[in-house]
Amino acid sequence: MILGHGKTPAQVVGIARELARSGQNVLITRLDADKAREVCKELPTLRYLELSRTGTIEQAAIAPLGTGPVALVSAGTGDLPVAEECAETLRMLGVAVERVYDVGVAGIHRLLHKRDVFERASVVIVVAGMEGALPSVVGGIVAGPVIAVPTSVGYGVSFGGLTALAAMLSSCASGVVVCNIDNGFGAGFAAARILRARERY
Amino acid sequence: MILGHGKTPAQVVGIARELARSGQNVLITRLDADKAREVCKELPTLRYLELSRTGTIEQAAIAPLGTGPVALVSAGTGDLPVAEECAETLRMLGVAVERVYDVGVAGIHRLLHKRDVFERASVVIVVAGMEGALPSVVGGIVAGPVIAVPTSVGYGVSFGGLTALAAMLSSCASGVVVCNIDNGFGAGFAAARILRARERY
Amino acid sequence: MILGHGKTPAQVVGIARELARSGQNVLITRLDADKAREVCKELPTLRYLELSRTGTIEQAAIAPLGTGPVALVSAGTGDLPVAEECAETLRMLGVAVERVYDVGVAGIHRLLHKRDVFERASVVIVVAGMEGALPSVVGGIVAGPVIAVPTSVGYGVSFGGLTALAAMLSSCASGVVVCNIDNGFGAGFAAARILRARERY
Amino acid sequence: MILGHGKTPAQVVGIARELARSGQNVLITRLDADKAREVCKELPTLRYLELSRTGTIEQAAIAPLGTGPVALVSAGTGDLPVAEECAETLRMLGVAVERVYDVGVAGIHRLLHKRDVFERASVVIVVAGMEGALPSVVGGIVAGPVIAVPTSVGYGVSFGGLTALAAMLSSCASGVVVCNIDNGFGAGFAAARILRARERY
Amino acid sequence: MILGHGKTPAQVVGIARELARSGQNVLITRLDADKAREVCKELPTLRYLELSRTGTIEQAAIAPLGTGPVALVSAGTGDLPVAEECAETLRMLGVAVERVYDVGVAGIHRLLHKRDVFERASVVIVVAGMEGALPSVVGGIVAGPVIAVPTSVGYGVSFGGLTALAAMLSSCASGVVVCNIDNGFGAGFAAARILRARERY
Amino acid sequence: MILGHGKTPAQVVGIARELARSGQNVLITRLDADKAREVCKELPTLRYLELSRTGTIEQAAIAPLGTGPVALVSAGTGDLPVAEECAETLRMLGVAVERVYDVGVAGIHRLLHKRDVFERASVVIVVAGMEGALPSVVGGIVAGPVIAVPTSVGYGVSFGGLTALAAMLSSCASGVVVCNIDNGFGAGFAAARILRARERY
Amino acid sequence: MILGHGKTPAQVVGIARELARSGQNVLITRLDADKAREVCKELPTLRYLELSRTGTIEQAAIAPLGTGPVALVSAGTGDLPVAEECAETLRMLGVAVERVYDVGVAGIHRLLHKRDVFERASVVIVVAGMEGALPSVVGGIVAGPVIAVPTSVGYGVSFGGLTALAAMLSSCASGVVVCNIDNGFGAGFAAARILRARERY
Amino acid sequence: MILGHGKTPAQVVGIARELARSGQNVLITRLDADKAREVCKELPTLRYLELSRTGTIEQAAIAPLGTGPVALVSAGTGDLPVAEECAETLRMLGVAVERVYDVGVAGIHRLLHKRDVFERASVVIVVAGMEGALPSVVGGIVAGPVIAVPTSVGYGVSFGGLTALAAMLSSCASGVVVCNIDNGFGAGFAAARILRARERY
């Protein structure tokens, strides 16, 4: 797994090649479209998704992980890149995903109509920008693990995601845990940590 | 109206006396219990409320303002001082208040059960600390004016109310307006501005 | 109503089409000129205004809202995009607007000469950047509702509008309420909330 | 469960009585010694622990939750109040705890000698102040879920725990999730969410 | 001149004695009442003023400085300690002071009625907390030097004077210069620097 | 005088024309090279200086202001645009300037060799970025007015000029006054305010 | 070595006893006077210094470290506690100290008169609060290692030492290295690291 | 030595020529590729390295400095530009460098395998972004001087290197000293200061 952000195309290609040579599958995150074009020239087997800004090389079968799916909740259109980065991470780790998109707190009934999805989910990941209120509402109606991912969506005092982050950490719903801003990859990986441990016991 | 915070008891007494002498009613806000004791010695007609930290001298009849009541919504026990400062301000300005307390976003159904109150309210004031999510949910179910008041309740990245403030300003519910942290007085006064204008037209 | 910021042209077009199909009028805010060009190719009925960065599709008659006009006050040339976003929002919501532009606190008499406009206004919206002092002065001479909108105009310790925002929230004029930085849309919508409630009683 | 912080002793007693009357066990967190003394006068069955600043009333048997223990890791003496708040929360939720205290990153070998504890843990909670580096090292040697809790231990640019919080959110170890500063209760509750879901599948 | 803040009474006494021994007049600023009591025991000739928190020892005649007086403007009761620290500094430097107190921007006409004072002033010092708007209005009606002093009066997003400071630095009135928060001494000293240079030419 | 920053070329041209028509001289600040090219097409008499990013139209004689020159001190090459904006402002206001460039605190002797310039100056303006230490040293060796201008020169914790600004406001040299970051125009205007008042007495 | 801050007296006593039992010398830093009294009751051999807030138990001879002394420079009276914490740390580590106190940048000549001390020093430690300019000047006249320690001395935008810290990190003098705010201990320890390495080669 | 950042190509060329004319070697840092191309046209003897963004003119022999090499440690690929800026600085100052790259705290064993390099190093420089934990671990296993350099690598609450910086200043390893964000040059220069002093004694 390679964080594309802050690396040159040549550096991404070099690390991806090294990983691929060892037989592993490769997931590159934060790979913007321009950089992806250059990387794809060198790595023709790379599959690039523009919305999630991810590139993948799948050469080994992905073992399924977990029994119930992970519910992936998000509020607005602007949150989709982060939600999809998370979805792609989960897919590469073998975890099934059930998307619950376009459910914001200002339209609370759309969210409440999805309670059945939350009930069958093993983990709920909530992706939200602006005021970051969604995890508090979800945390109040779900008993299992809730992982919150703030996004940089918003302007003014959204502070590039800091307000959503601080709101999630200050949530009045107990036991909601939080990842860095826009870190869809981290949330997916954290869900896999939970499911992995579950398999052991 | 006197902001007690940052003034000595002698200064509060002096300004209150000057106002009272002109026949006006007096409202002192942010008057902590110790200072209130000293002020009451000099102003025996002052009525002090510890929860709202307000002192009042009523010597003139209060003219009623507005037709429907103002709904005053708050989430936790810690928000009560700010909510009650707002209630006392509204009372001194002649505005009827209907309290909707103890309705947090992590228990969304308690809030939704109060929809009838919101419907008959002329203005809804929402007082909340921590992640400050309540105004977003209320703003989604109310068509009239919604005034949000962040409180300094919380710890860590609640930043003394800044997170709630920023969350309210970043609300995904359109047209929610916001006051300074813990400014229950300001929210009450803003509601009175709205009702006052309404009477004119 | 669609927030254009943070969405791709294709996403804006998709949501606008869905709204238009349901017979509603459409208002797109924060649509910069480059993105607007692409959107207009797909939505030829869209009317784009560069100064306010708004696009509109009017297919239904707009019902007038409110009796007195909303006074829209701003200080400098740099504040015009935000003020005009607000004006366009009010127009789409059926609210009459009376503009009071180019009245800064450093030339206090130009502002004071406009008192008659403030007196006949149902709501006063004040748009200001830099030190954000204008709402305090207006709040002192107006009895009705005052909505303050900080703008990101300024440099250095203007902090992209944070100083104006904090100044407005700290205003010594009681009951001034505040929107997010550059949120002309939100201020217009808040005024409509006030006028809407007023019609009901 | 009651957050003692920001409530008066009378308010804490009132809520605790209401919970106790319904037959539940009661856990009060952030109850400082002075307030505890007053609360204990009214609630003689309350058991108060000064180090963790928690008070508990146990009237119902606590059902065990989870198969493996939760490993509770901390670095310095100053982090103990937060770690013990977490431990007491876990105990009240029926979760077994294995403490790994006094293992800081500046003495990396003491930490590495505890690998066997990490291996048999179902969840690892890492409590650390100052530079907050411990979760990164633990996240690199543990495959299961890692919950990081920053503490306000430190001075100067520790910023009351903000540096540790930001360091944990920026961790180079993938999938580490984070709670609010000093939120030992939240970390314990999050671990219980994970174990609870695990029991269902 | 001695900054009392951050020094022990013994340290203040030691430095004051050394200065006094050399025949100079002594001005101690930021001397709170408790510390002043201890200092006065050792320095019986010290004259302490509680409002301005200053102590002075006058043993040499003070030479008058400047021809016109310095106008000292302030808004609220809470700003008086800073304004009076400035007044006492000017007095010790030989500068005449004309006070213009209790003129806030929310009551703009009280300020405008004082234009004659501003016209005969050699320097105008403006002391204000909260939104710090006063220097912008004053700067617009005065042609001579304007020195702004932000105070820590306010709460919430007043940020202990930072908002007033940033507003003053962002002033739309050209050429307003600014001192540190609550630095009445510095403003007085800066005025003296201006008057001193004036005498030379 | 027109602040070019945040205005379109058309807006700059419009305001400049209006000023020019009234017979005044025109000074446009913060006019970057690209915008200047467009403005010059419409205003062929505009004289543009790239280093200071200023444009001027001189159609009236400039009356000299002040007897001694203003000393304009700066440290590094990166500070020159701000220093020269200040110089051009002073020139347009009729004030003589004596430049003392390339004197940083890390080479203290180069600064000390310029004491004679400081002595004959009526006002000293100090322009500095990075740690902003220069005004403290200058303030210690000059008795007349010292105006400090922080610049955005630096990286990392220079915070775009905030560190220099805060350092200048915290200066241990008494009575140093400060302008906004990069505000060479404001410093020049403030010096003119001082000299203007001086002429009156 | 024990950081007293954030530990109870009992915890300090416990750790100190354990260290003393192993035959080591003990240095306790950040031990305020109240806590020290309680600790001294249990550890009668502890020698407490109020100015430096340090307690020491010397039971083993201290081996001298380094050939030249460390020059310890500070500006104001308020910086002495941090400077003396550093001095006591150096003493316990066997390093000779030469104090250069009361040399601020606003009185540059007092500093320049001490050049001979800087020349014979093996390391120069500079302790300064407020604008933190001293290390830049010292770094310009010294060729050897310069360690800067910001102190929390100051008010307003001194931000409890952050301004001095940021100024020192932004220093225009190359290769000045910096410690945390008020960290006199850390600076002394860093000097010892330098001298220790020197002995090896 | 010239800081390229914030200077025009013409300014860089001018200063470089002046230095070169005096016979010195020249090191230009923060010279991005575009600017370098323009500079190279004028200075054909300049050797430019893209990774470290440095340009050098070597015309005099470089005298070796120090006996043991400086160990240069870094964690991720993104930190290489800063590490290499440091390496090039050390080379130009005559100091031998031993690189220990790609050793992050999440893979602690790779770091521990390099202990022999740390043991023979005269100074250890640690370059790290994100959570900035590496210097704490290194400081715990090295007895000599440790200089930490935070990098701006990371996203979200990495805050452009501030989190790494604050973490390094808050390090639980005693006596680690810190440079500004991305200041590889400063760290190299600081190491040279240490080695230079060492040669004298």
Say what the alpha-carbon torsion angle C163, C168, C170, C174 is, to the nearest 10 degrees: 170
Distance of alpha carbon B145 from alpha carbon A88, whole angstroms: 42
Q: What is the pLDDT of residue B180?
A: 98
Cβ pair A156:C15 closer than 8 A? no
Q: Does C7 touch chain A (CB under 8 A)?
A: yes
Contact B170, B136 (CB under 8 A): no
Q: What is the pLDDT of residue E200?
A: 60
User: Do B50 and B77 lie in a common domain?
Assistant: no
Q: What is the pLDDT of residue G197?
A: 75
- Order of strands across the sheet with A146-150? A97-100, A70-74, A123-128, A146-150, A177-178, D177-178, D146-150, D123-128, D70-74, D97-100
Q: What is the pLDDT of residue C107?
A: 87
Cβ pair D181:B153 closer than 8 A? no
D143, part of any domain:
yes
Cβ pair G106:F130 closer than 8 A? no
CATH number at residue C186: 3.40.50.1970
Residue A199 has pLDDT above 70, yes or no: no
User: Do B40 and B95 lie in a common domain?
Assistant: no
User: Do G51 and G91 lie in a common domain?
Assistant: no
Distance of alpha carbon E123 from alpha carbon F186, whole angstroms: 17
Beta strands per DSSP E along G106-145: 123-128
Which residues have C-beta within 8 Å of that of residue C94, sequence separation ≥ 6?
A: C62, C63, C64, C65, C66, C192
Spans of chain G below 70 pLDDT: 198-201
User: Do B119 and B168 lie in a common domain?
Assistant: yes
B62, part of any domain:
no
Which residues have C-beta within 8 Å of that of residue A78, sequence separation ≥ 6?
A: A129, A151, A153, C6, C7
CA distances from D150 to D2, D184, F70, G122 (A): 21, 9, 53, 39
B92, part of any domain:
yes
Q: What is the pLDDT of residue H123?
A: 97
User: Do C151 and C101 lie in a common domain?
Assistant: yes
Give the helix/strand (H/E) hosting E194: helix E184-200
Residue from the list C170, C178, C186 with its beta carbon closest to the beta carbon of B175: C186
In angstroms, the separation between the Cα of residue B67 and the nearest Cα of chain A is 27
Residues from chain F that touch C153, judged by Cβ atoms under 8 A, are: 6
Residue from the list C112, C141, C167 with its beta carbon closest to the beta carbon of E163: C167
Spans of chain H below 50 pLDDT: none
Distance of alpha carbon H176 from alpha carbon H169, whole angstroms: 8
Q: What is the pLDDT of residue D64?
A: 95
H-facing residues of D in 34-63 (CB < 8 A) are none
What are phi and psi for residue D121, nearest 5 degrees?
A: -80, 145
The set of chains that have 3 or more CB pairs under 8 A with B is A, C, D, E
Go through chain H and tell me how many residues it has: 201
**pLDDT tens per residue, range E6-38:** 899 999 999 999 999 999 999 999 999 999 999
Question: How many CB atoms neighbour CB D6 within 10 A?
Answer: 18
Q: What is the pLDDT of residue F201?
A: 52
In angstroms, the separation between the Cα of residue H145 and the nearest Cα of chain F is 23
User: Whole domain around residue F102: which residue ranges?
Assistant: 70-200
Residue G159 tokens read as 């931000």
Percent of chain A predicted with pLDDT > 70 = 98
**pLDDT tens per residue, range H113-159:** 999 999 899 999 999 999 999 999 999 999 999 999 999 999 999 99
Cβ pair E143:F177 closer than 8 A? no
E65, part of any domain:
no
Query: Which residue, among A5, A85, A171, A178, would best test binding to D if mutated, counting the most D CBs under 10 Å from its CB?
Result: A178
Cβ pair E180:G77 closer than 8 A? no
Cβ pair B190:C175 closer than 8 A? yes
Residue C38 has pLDDT above 60, yes or no: yes
What mean pLDDT is predicted for residues C75-82? 94
More confident residue, D142 or C3: D142
What mean pLDDT is predicted for residues D182-186? 97
The set of chains that have 3 or more CB pairs under 8 A with G is D, E, F, H
Contact C173, C146 (CB under 8 A): yes
User: Do B77 and B141 lie in a common domain?
Assistant: yes
H122, part of any domain:
yes
Distance of alpha carbon D169 from alpha carbon A168, whole angstroms: 13
Chains C and B touch (3+ CB pairs under 8 A): yes
DSSP of E161-172: GHHHHHHHHT-S
Give the helix/strand (H/E) hosting A73: strand A70-74
Go through chain D and tell me how many residues it has: 201
User: Do A102 and A179 lie in a common domain?
Assistant: yes
Say what the alpha-carbon torsion angle H22, H24, H28, H34 is, to the nearest 10 degrees: 60
Of F34, F32, F35, residue with least CA distance to F51: F32
The set of chains that have 3 or more CB pairs under 8 A with A is B, C, D, H
What's the CA angle centered on G178, arms H111 and F78, to 5 degrees?
110
Residue C36 tokens read as 């607007």
Distance of alpha carbon B53 from alpha carbon B66, whole angstroms: 25
How does residue E198 score in pLDDT terms, banded at 50, 70 and 90?
low
Q: What is the pLDDT of residue D198?
A: 66
Q: Does E155 touch chain B (CB under 8 A)?
A: yes
DSSP of E38-66: HHHHH-TT-EEETTTTEEEE--SPPPP--
User: Do F121 and F150 lie in a common domain?
Assistant: yes
**Residue C186: helix, strand or coil by DSSP?**
helix
Residue from the list E7, E11, E161 with its beta carbon closest to the beta carbon of G156: E161
Give the CA radius of gyration of chain H: 17
Between chain F and chain G, the number of residue pairs with CB atoms below 8 A apart is 122
G63, part of any domain:
no
User: Do A41 and A98 lie in a common domain?
Assistant: no
Give the helix/strand (H/E) hosting C56: strand C54-57
User: Do A92 and A13 lie in a common domain?
Assistant: no
Residue E3 has pLDDT above 90, yes or no: no
What mean pLDDT is predicted for residues A83-112? 95
Strands H177-178, H146-150: pairing is parallel
Residue G89 tokens read as 């740390």
Residues from chain G that touch H188, judged by Cβ atoms under 8 A, are: 175
**Helices (H), ranges, A43-79:** none
Q: What is the largest CA-CA distance in chain G?
A: 50
pTM of the model as a whole: 0.95
Query: Which residue, among A158, A180, A185, A193, would best test binding to H if mutated, counting the most H CBs under 10 Å from its CB?
Result: A180
**Number of domains, chain B:** 2
Domain boundary among E57, E78, E103: E57
Return the amino acid letter for E160. G
Q: What is the pLDDT of residue G200?
A: 61
In angstroms, the separation between the Cα of residue G152 and the nearest Cα of chain E is 10
Cβ pair E165:C173 closer than 8 A? no
Say what the alpha-carbon torsion angle B35, B39, B44, B50 is, to the nearest 10 degrees: -20
Q: What is the pLDDT of residue D1?
A: 78
Between chain B and chain E, the number of residue pairs with CB atoms below 8 A apart is 25
Residues from chain B that touch A167, judged by Cβ atoms under 8 A, are: 131-133, 163-164, 166-167
Question: How many CB atoms neighbour CB D124 within 10 A?
Answer: 27
The set of chains that have 3 or more CB pairs under 8 A with H is A, D, F, G
Query: Which residue, among E102, E157, E158, E182, would best test binding to B if mutated, counting the most B CBs under 10 Å from its CB?
Result: E157
Q: What is the pLDDT of residue H201?
A: 52
Question: How many CB atoms neighbour CB H58 within 10 A?
Answer: 13
Cβ pair A181:H153 closer than 8 A? no
Distance of alpha carbon E165 from alpha carbon E130, whole angstroms: 9
Cβ pair C177:B174 closer than 8 A? no
Distance of alpha carbon F111 from alpha carbon F105, whole angstroms: 8
How does residue E106 score in pLDDT terms, banded at 50, 70 and 90?
confident
H8, part of any domain:
yes
User: Do H101 and H148 lie in a common domain?
Assistant: yes
Q: Does B64 touch chain C (CB under 8 A)?
A: no
The set of chains that have 3 or more CB pairs under 8 A with F is C, E, G, H
Contact E133, E105 (CB under 8 A): yes
Q: Does F75 touch chain G (CB under 8 A)?
A: yes
Q: What is the pLDDT of residue E26?
A: 95
Residues from chain F that touch G131, judged by Cβ atoms under 8 A, are: 131-133, 136, 166-168, 170-172
**pLDDT tens per residue, range F46-85:** 999 999 999 999 999 999 998 889 999 998 899 999 999 9
Residues from chain H that touch F78, judged by Cβ atoms under 8 A, are: 6-7
Q: Does F181 touch chain C (CB under 8 A)?
A: yes
Residues from chain E that touch B168, judged by Cβ atoms under 8 A, are: none
Q: What is the pLDDT of residue A198?
A: 64
B64, part of any domain:
no
Between chain B and chain D, the number of residue pairs with CB atoms below 8 A apart is 25
Give the helix/strand (H/E) hosting E81: helix E80-92
Residue from the list H5, H7, H15 with its beta carbon closest to the beta carbon of F155: H5
The set of chains that have 3 or more CB pairs under 8 A with E is B, C, F, G
**Residue A192: helix, strand or coil by DSSP?**
helix
Cβ pair H175:G186 closer than 8 A? yes
Q: Does H164 touch chain A (CB under 8 A)?
A: no
DSSP single-letter state for residue F105:
G
Residue from the list C170, C174, C190 with its beta carbon closest to the beta carbon of B177: C190
Query: Which residue, among E103, E105, E130, E169, would best test binding to C if mutated, counting the most C CBs under 10 Å from its CB?
Result: E105
Residues from chain G that touch E183, judged by Cβ atoms under 8 A, are: 156
DSSP single-letter state for residue C64:
P
How does residue D174 score in pLDDT terms, banded at 50, 70 and 90?
very high
Residues from chain A that touch C30, judged by Cβ atoms under 8 A, are: 155
**Residue E108: helix, strand or coil by DSSP?**
helix
In angstroms, the separation between the Cα of residue B88 and the nearest Cα of chain C is 15
Spans of chain F below 70 pLDDT: 198-201
User: Do C53 and C80 lie in a common domain?
Assistant: no
Sign of the CA dihedral with E164 first, then E165, E167, and E168 last: positive
Contact D105, H133 (CB under 8 A): yes
How does residue B197 score in pLDDT terms, banded at 50, 70 and 90?
confident
Residue from the list D76, D154, D173 with its beta carbon closest to the beta carbon of H106: D173
DSSP single-letter state for residue D72:
E
Residue F200 has, within 13 A of its CA and on its CB side, a CA count of 18
